[in-house]
Structure formats: structure tokens, C-alpha cells
Structure 1
Amino acid sequence: VLLWSLATGAHGLATSAMGFMVCRFILGLTEAANYPACVKTTRLWFPAGERAVATGIFNAGTNVGAMMTPMLLPLILHVWGWQAAFLCMSALGAIWLVFWGLKYYNPEDHPSVKQSELDYVQQEVEPEQPRVPFSRILRMRGTWAFALAYSLTAPVFWFYLYWLPPFLNQQYNLGINVTQMGIPLIIIYLTADFGSVGGGILSSFLIGRGMNSIKARLLSMLLFACCIVGVIMAAGSSQLWVAVFAISLAIGAHQAWTANIWSLVMDYTPKHMMSTVFGFGGMCAAIGGMFMTQIVGHILTVTNNNYTVLFTLIPAMYFIALVWMYFMAPRKIPTVDV
């Protein structure tokens, strides 16, 4: 977080395009540790029946940021200038770093955790395993089960982030009017928040009813993949709010899917390997995102900005990923020999 804060603040001090690009590169490197750290923390602090809800809550912060930034940024730019936008973000990161450093402990080290609470958090029995080299982790079936499935679906959310405003503007002539453009985007990302938390609640409910955690995650992911099919209506609709409804349902289901695929990899990955496995999957997803950007641009160029092909392909990504996870995901925490 410290390096991320410094890299963010450095943007406001950049005096050339090259300096800005260097800052962006460093920012990408430093922020990459965020989600592996979040997932590892969730893995340590929550049993299987509660992980998806906890994951959905922290992942909902992405959508809160997407809603708040367009509202706060114009004010900051008007009062203090563009450099202040980066410096303010840097300051928030530094404040969070102080809070985290003072308050965070692993469960077994927390000064106020009772033994009964520790037993509840650590109720799952895991085989004792020594630390293993990265090469061994790359040979584990579960690593590739998550990496490929996540690479297929994570870039879809970045597609929504980057291409929704151009799509809405092109299809419905919204222009840059804050009210016209802002309200649909706020509704879409607010739905994503509800989906993120609700997806975790569903699989946790199934686990509470006695279903195996892996099966509960996969069944939940199947239901959310079916919900995403509705996004096909968005491209062909002449009505703005029909498109907003279809996209809202899809992006909410995507975040519900994400809460469960993250929880799924937690369920079958030994806790001392969690950050490495998730980080590798995140790297693969980032590479997939680079290709997604090129593919989207190519399709829009060839089809004269017709989004129908893109909205038709999106649901297929989830079903391909689900089939891959079904056959490849381990059904229990493996030993290092697997």
C-alpha cells in the first residue's frame, strides 16, 4: 500500500508524458498486490461457509469507487487542479496504510480473539504441508483451473468499465451530460454491489444447508452465468432503460460470479499458497484483459461500432470457464504431491 500511495502521488508531480507513463507502470505493479492480499486475508479469517459473503463485501468496493469517482473528480479538478486528484488518492492510501498497520493481525496473533472464535475460524482440517517452490505450484491442477477460468471472465468487467460510456453515448446520444450519463452508470454499478454481496450469500446459504462448498460455488456460478445471458438484449434495444436493466443484471451476476470463483479457489488451495495461486491467476487475467482490449477494438472497427457481437460473446465466456472449473477444480485441499 505504501508503494501504491507513492506511485499514485507521483502522477501529480510528473512533468512529461514519459514521466506519466513510468508512474502508470509502477502504479500497475504496486496495485497488483491488492487482491491477492484481500483474498489471503479472507482465507485466514473466514471459514468456507462465510468466505463468499466476505469476498463479495470487499469486492463491492470496486463498484463504490466507480460510482464515487465521477462525482468527486470534477470538484477536485475545479478547486485544486488535475495534480490534486492523484495527490488526494495518494493521501487516502497512506491513511489506510496507517489504519491497517495498527489494527490488522492474523487470527492466531490477534490480542482480543478468544479461543472459541479461533476454533471457529480455523474449523477446517488441513493437511500439514511444507512451503513449496513456485514451480511446484505451477504444476498443481487447481492453479490452472482458476487461472484460465479467471482469465476468461475477469476482462469482461474491464470491458464494462471502459466501454459502457461510449456504448451508451453511441446508442442513445447521451453525450457528456452528467445527469443523462451518470444516472444509468450509477444504477449499473449499484446493482453490481448488490450482486457481489448477494452472490456470496447464495453459496453460503447452500453450504449452510449441508451442500459441499465446491458444489455450492459451482451451482451458484451456473445460475449467475444464466443470468448473464440477458445482456444480449442490451445491444439490440432501442430503449435506454431496457439496456440499462440488461447490463445491470449482467454486471451484478458477474460480480456474484467473481465472489464465488474467488471463494472456490480459497476452498481448495492451502492457505500458505493462497496469495501465490491467486496472484498468478490475476496475472493471467491481466494478460487476458490486454487481449480483450485489442479484440473489442478490432470487432468494433470491423462491424462499424456494432456491439451485438460483443454482447453475444460475453455469456459464452462464463459457460466455457464454468465447464473448465467443473472438470479441473480439486474437490478438496490437495497435498503438495498432487
Structure 2
Amino acid sequence: MKKIKGLRWYMIAMVTLGTVLGYLTRNSIAVAVPELERTLHMTTEQYSYIVAAYSAAYTVMQPIAGYVLDLLGTKLGYAVFAVLWSVFCISTAFAGSWQGLAISRAAVGAAEAAMIPGGLKASSEWFPAKERSAAVGWFNVGSSIGAMVAPPLVVWAILVHSWQMAFIICGALSAVWAALWIVFYRSPKQHKMLTDEERTYILDGQEERLKDDKAQKASVWQIVRNRQFWGIALPRFLAEPAWGTFNAWIPLFMHQVYGFDLKQIALFAWMPMLFADLGCVIGGYMPPFFQKHFGVTLIVSRKMVVTLGAFLMLGPGIIGLFTSPYIAIAMLCIGGFAHQALSGSLITLSADVFGKNEVATANGLTGMAAWTASTLFALVVGALADKIGFSPLFAMLACFDILAAVAVWSILRDAPANLEPRAVAQPA
């Protein structure tokens, strides 16, 4: 069989495409909400319940999805969840009320909970430690590409046919990807098209805890009682509401505050996501840059990226100082870049400190913390947006990200997690 050089980058490209389609299904409702408000007579507060339903299901399923991925393996586990979210997205087209939308979107959220843990698990299998942040940056870019593609695609489907067609198209695309994933994905040890040189490069560059397929899997209790877990989980709890707000509320923000119609939303709502793409990619290359030029360790380099992203989040935090919609969009672009650079480093830290057979579980648990906050903040936005406006809410998000940077420096140690059965979490 013909060998392919640089096969690891083809594998991460497949992960990226899966993330694109997952976020396309997720963001489709955010773009369609002005039309849904008109046709289903839905209020802003009722829309917040739909967002919260998705987030709550995603939150509860994060550790479960991570556990299933570690149990079934990356190939089969990810494919099962992708098929499920495609089916549930299509089912959204049959909802006739905001309650029906909430149920179908909760099902989508439950299935998509495997998306980030699955991508991280694939990255930990296919990349040496020094390239892992770049790999995570590239697959994480799919989240913002999906959000960027959603406005023009969903608006086109609504204008040409109906809002129902938008959900059918998005779901069908994910089903096609799941079939391709089953056909082409293999681990480095099993892939026959991987050159011997690249296989050696990948495996020799990984930490010992990521090489052992038969290593004992740590329990959930061992993971959550470890200090390193909380050094990732708490910052993710503080930072995630920003990304949840960007994905679910920017189109409605532009519609309510600046009077944008569907065509204007299609023209402008994708821009912050383009800068989020840049944040994913550039943020992924920042840690090795900091290591090379500042002589810091791997984990410290991740903390530096988190800190930079947190301070850049001050951009959307001051959005209330401007009346121009174009300046507001520029501030949101800065925020998109900042959050995705920050988020990529926080996600990668799970692979930096946890072993091969618990990395998806650990990431799922930190994701649960993150999405708990995102769910709660969605309800806050729904309750307060019509009363106090969006500007104070964006300012709150900036403050949360600064606190996240403080937390990651204060709690996370520059060492792998010690998850031996009799290990005791290190004292603060």
C-alpha cells in the first residue's frame, strides 16, 4: 500500500472537518432565530431556554462522552456520536414550537459533547508533545469555521426554501462525514499508509503516559480529586461563557441592537468567527514560540497564551462605549481571536497532564465544568438582555476571562497529574 508523508496532518484535517460540521449544526439555530421568532412567535427569553437546553445536555454528557470515547476508542466512538448529532439536527426541522426546538437541540447538544474530547484524543494519538498545541489549534479552528459558514448557508436555505431546510442540510453533511471517518481513520500503530519514519517521530515524541495502550485507566474520582484537574476545570468554567455567547447571541445582538436583517447578518455575523479561526491557529503556534524564545516549560507556555487571550477579551468588554455597529463588530472580532487562542491552550492542557486512557474522560469533565457556566450564563443573557442590554453582559465576560488567567496560574502545577490508586492530591 502506498505510504503518505505527513499523514498526521491529513488525520487532523479530518478532525477539523468534523468540528466544522458539528459547529455548523450547533450555530444554525443562532442564525435562524430572527426567522423563528417571526414564524413561531418566540421571545428572547424562550430562545434562551433553547440555548440553555443545548448547553445543559452538552454539559451533562461531557464526562459520559469522554468515558465512552476512552472505552470504544477514537474511531468508533467519534463516529457513533457524529451520526447521532446529524440525526438530531435533522429532527429540529420537525419542531413546531420553542419547546420542540428545545428538546431537539438538547439532543444535538448531548451528541456533540463528544466533539472536543474526540478531537483531543485524536490529537494525543497522532502528534508528539511539541506539536500537540498546533494540532489542537487546527482542529479547534473548525469550531469557528462552522460558526462562520452558518450565517450564509442558513440564510441562503431560509431565503431559497425554509428554515427547516437549513437544519436538514446541516445534519445531512455531518452524516456524510461520519461515514468518511469510519473508512479512513486509524491510530498511528494501525494505519498502513503511515511511513515508518513518521510513526517513529510521533511515538518517540510522546510522553510515556500516552504510549501505553494497556495502562490502567484512572477512575473519575481519582481525576476530580487531583489539583491539576481543577487547574484546568476552573479556568474553563470562567472562560466558556464567552464562547457560548459568541455562538448563540451575536446574530440576535446585531438584530436587536443595530436592526440588522437576515441579509445583513449573513454579511457580518461570520467576521468574528474568521478572527476566531486565526486565534485557533496562531494560538496553537504560540506555546512552542514562547518555549523557544523565553525558555519556559510546556505548561507555562500554555499559561502565557491563556493570559494573553484573557487581556484581549477586554475588546468586547468595552463594546458599550461605541455606537457604531462596525466598531462593535471589530471588538467582537478581537474577542473571537482572544477566546479561541485561550480556549485551545486550556483544552490542550488535558493531554499535557493526563494519560492516554483518561485524557478524553478528563477533558469531558473539564468540559462539563465549562458548559455548566455556559448554560447558566445563557439564562442570564435571556433574562437580562432586554432589560439592561448586551453591553454589561460583554463586560462581565471580559472579567471572567481575567479571573480564568489568575486561576490557571494559581492552581495548575508544572507537572503531570499523579493518578496512582493511592495517590493523594497535592496540597495547595
Could you state the TM-score of these two structures normalised by the residue count of structure 2?
Answer: 0.72
Q: 1:207 aligns with which of 269, 291, 294?
A: 291
Identity of aligned residues (%): 27
Match of 1:37 in 2: 118
What secondary structure is seen at the aligned counterpart in 2 of 1:12? Answer: helix
Contact 1:12 1:84 in 2 (8 A): yes
Shift of 1:76: 2.5
Shift of 1:90: 2.5
Give CA deviations for 1:234-293 in whole Å, capped at 9, x if unaligned.
111123332222221122111111111112222111121111011111122222112102
What secondary structure is seen at the aligned counterpart in 1 of 2:313? Answer: helix
Tell me, in whole angstroms, the C-alpha distance in 2 between the residues paired with 1:167 and 1:21: 20
Q: Say how many residue pairs are matched.
A: 334
Tell me, in whole angstroms, the C-alpha distance in 2 between the residues paired with 1:240 and 1:19: 33
Tell me, in whole angstroms, the C-alpha distance in 2 between the residues paired with 1:16 and 1:296: 21
Is residue 317 of structure 2 the alignment partner of residue 232 of structure 1? yes
Match of 1:158 in 2: 244
What secondary structure is seen at the aligned counterpart in 1 of 2:388? Answer: coil
Instruction: Identify which range, 70-79 or 223-232, moves more after superposition.
Output: 70-79
Contact 1:126 1:333 in 2 (8 A): no
Instruction: Identify which range, 7-16 or 87-96, moves more after superposition.
Output: 7-16
Match of 2:14 in 1: none
Match of 1:187 in 2: 271
Contact 1:232 1:308 in 2 (8 A): yes
Shift of 1:152: 1.0
Q: 1:2 to 1:109 in 2, by over 3 A?
A: same
Q: 1:15 to 1:271 in 2, by over 3 A?
A: same
Gaps of 5+ in 2: 1-81, 424-428
Tell me, in whole angstroms, the C-alpha distance in 1 between the residues paired with 2:256 and 2:170: 31
Q: 1:115 to 1:335 in 2, by over 3 A?
A: farther
Shift of 1:305: 2.8
Instruction: Identify which range, 327-336 or 91-100, moves more after superposition.
Output: 327-336
Q: 1:265 to 1:244 in 2, by over 3 A?
A: same
Q: 2:406 aligns with which of 308, 311, 323?
A: 323
Tell me, in whole angstroms, the C-alpha distance in 1 between the residues paired with 2:253 and 2:102: 27
Q: 1:330 to 1:271 in 2, by over 3 A?
A: farther
Could you state the TM-score of these two structures normalised by the residue count of structure 1?
Answer: 0.89
Contact 1:146 1:325 in 2 (8 A): yes
Q: 1:332 to 1:107 in 2, by over 3 A?
A: farther
Tell me, in whole angstroms, the C-alpha distance in 2 between the residues paired with 1:45 and 1:211: 24
Q: 2:134 aligns with which of 53, 56, 60?
A: 53
Contact 2:228 2:411 in 1 (8 A): yes
Structural RMSD (CA): 2.3
Tell me, in whole angstroms, the C-alpha distance in 2 between the residues paired with 1:7 and 1:230: 36
Is residue 232 of structure 2 the alignment partner of residue 146 of structure 1? yes
Letter in 1 for 2:217: R
Tell me, in whole angstroms, the C-alpha distance in 1 between the residues paired with 2:395 and 2:87: 41
Q: 1:109 aligns with which of 190, 213, 220?
A: 190
Instruction: Identify which range, 121-130 or 38-47, moves more after superposition.
Output: 121-130
Tell me, in whole angstroms, the C-alpha distance in 2 between the residues paired with 1:295 and 1:18: 19
Gaps of 5+ in 1: none
Tell me, in whole angstroms, the C-alpha distance in 2 between the residues paired with 1:225 and 1:11: 35
Contact 1:53 1:259 in 2 (8 A): no
Match of 1:6 in 2: 87
Give CA deviations for 1:5-54 in whole Å, capped at 9, x if unaligned.
22223333557776554433322211111111011111111222222222
Q: 1:226 to 1:78 in 2, by over 3 A?
A: closer
Letter in 1 for 2:115: N
Give CA deviations for 1:179-232 in whole Å, capped at 9, x if unaligned.
3x4433232221111111111111132234453110111112212222222323
Shift of 1:86: 2.6
Q: 1:310 aligns with which of 393, 399, 402?
A: 393
Is residue 276 of structure 2 the alignment partner of residue 198 of structure 1? no
Tell me, in whole angstroms, the C-alpha distance in 2 between the residues paired with 1:244 and 1:89: 26
